[in-house]
Structure 1
Amino acid sequence: MTAVLRRLLATLLVSASLTGVAAGAPPAASAAPTAARLSAQDQATVARVEEYLNNIHTLQSKFVQVAPNGQQTTGIFSMARPGRMRLEYDKPIKDFVVADGSFIFYWDGEMRQQSSAPIGSTMADFILRKTIRLSGDVVVTNVFQAPGVVEVSLVESKDSGKGTLTLVFEDHPFQLRKWRVLDGQGLTTEVALLNPRTDVSFDRDMFYFKEPPKGSDYGRGN
């Protein structure tokens, strides 16, 4: 599996156990997460984030991904809640990921290999579920606010070893601008959204995995 795809897995919030296996390293040990002591203002911010995320039913955006080594790649991220998303890199990268509502499929374009995992076994489940709650099976570990910026960091309640997801919002207007994933290997990948659009209409076929034909340079549109 390529290094690019391994970073893609981290970017899409896949469990540290999967990324560790892909990288040939043992899974990181889990530790009980510590919930942040939220002030009244922080609690209001968390409620605002929940309301915002639950009001997003479809979203599409150009993205810029910055890998731990500083390498930048671009592509298109598409999401239709509940359960469906697609992430594709711009050429010449041939890898892509698609979630069909039950499973997430990973396509390694160089090796022409597909692997998959149930959505519920990944942190991607958090942003794809029908109702998003920043409590219960996820723990808010930090809320950061500065002029024009809001950040909320999360881990899974039962397995913080899957990594930390930090959602970054601009405040005026309030909207998701980027996310960061600190994975089980201690590496950070950041994805910035460029001019995200909501209430987008999609062809449902784009959220089903289809193996690209041999000789195809790209996954988009399959």
Structure 2
Amino acid sequence: MRYLLILCMVAGVAATAATARAGEGEDALQAFYRSVDTLRADFEQVQVDETGEAIQRTAGEFLLARPDRFRWSYREPYEQIIVSDGNAFYFHDVDLSQVTVRDVDRSLRATPAQLLAGGKALESAFRIEEAGRRDGLAWVTLTPREGDGDFTEIRIGFDDSRPARMELDDQLGQTTRIRFADVAVDVEIDPARFQLVIPDDATVVDGREQRP
């Protein structure tokens, strides 16, 4: 597989000697959902196998505007764009000139961007648990309520109420680790960034449910 796009879920809490107060990670998660309307950040992503060896590295930009709009752009090693306009979810593989379209509510398991968008769908799809402090961050774990998704556990580390890291364990024993940098919240973002202009020569695969 030339490029594996991986994205999010979170689980269990163990007792720790860290000095976190009870509920710190969950409080940070709720504060992020409650008080942050827009977010812009750069990210670096590494996928490791079950032995901890890196098998893929990627980097790009993440934009978020609540409710339900986001843009997750991979700049390297291949240009790929994931966009939600609030109604539909688009995955554009620029190199392959292919666009996949899905309903937003059917894409929750597919991307960390959708997880960070939050909302009631998140709580209905995941068990959310406190995970203490690690590496100077307050962590929360999300475990899928149903076991048929791509990921078995997702962990999100917060610096105050800003996401700083994500870790996603998949069904194959691999882990995707994401680090955010230059995080800016409640900044002005051009609404056009949450629209995908589909090239005329692109192949479009529309997986949305047909509605009358």
TM > 0.5 fold call: yes
**Correspondence 1:198 to 2:197:** no
Flag the 1:133–1:106 CA change in 2: closer, same or farther, 3 A: closer
Selected match of 2:41 from 61, 67, 70: 61
- Could you tell me which amino acid in structure 1 is paired with residue 144 of structure 2? E
Q: Which deviates more, 52-61 or 147-156?
A: 147-156
**Cα deviation 1:65-88 (Å, max 9, x = unaligned):** 112234322211111111111111
> Contact between 1:46 and 1:134, CA under 8 Å: does it hold in 2?
no
Aligned partner (choices 139, 142, 147) of residue 127 of structure 2: 139
Aligned AA for 1:149?
Answer: L
| Structural RMSD (CA) | 3.2
2:31 pairs with one of 51, 59, 63 = 51
Higher helix share: 1
**Which position in structure 2 is the counterpart of 1:23?**
none
Partners of 2:11 and 2:59 in 1: CA distance: 34
Amino acid at match of 2:175: T
Q: Give unpaired runs (5+ residues) of structure 2.
A: 49-53, 202-212
Residue of structure 1 equivalent to 2:73: 88
C-alpha distance 65-119 of structure 1, shift in aligned 2 (>3 A): same
Cα gap change, 1:110 to 1:161, in 2 (>3 Å): same
Q: How many residues align?
A: 189
Moved more, 115-124 or 190-199: 115-124
Q: Give me the TM-score of the superposition, normalised by structure 1.
A: 0.70
Query: Structure 2: how far apart are the matches of 1:74 and 1:146?
Result: 23
Letter in 1 for 2:79: K
Structure 1's consecutive aligned runs of 4 or more residues displaced over 4 angstroms after TM superposition are 33-41, 132-136
More strand by share: 2
Q: Which string of whole-angstrom CA distances, capped at 9 and with x for unpartnered residues, describes residues 88-138 of structure 1?
A: 122562211111112221112222111122222223444224x46974432
Tell me the CA shift for residue 59 of structure 1: 0.5
Greater RCO structure (CA 8 Å; 6+ sep): 2
TM normalised by structure 2 equals: 0.73
Amino acid at match of 1:167: I
In 1, are the aligned partners of 2:127 and 2:142 still within 8 Å (CA)?
yes
Q: Which amino acid aligns with 1:110?
A: D
Residues 34-56 of structure 1 show CA distances to partners (whole Å, capped at 9, x for unaligned) of 86599994335413421233211
Partners of 1:165 and 1:119 in 2: CA distance: 20
Separation (CA, whole Å) in 2 of partners of 1:51 and 1:197 = 15
Give CA deviations for 1:161-202 in whole Å, capped at 9, x if unaligned. 4412210123xx453111111122221111111110011212
Q: Percent identity?
A: 20
Aligned partner of 1:29 in structure 2 is none
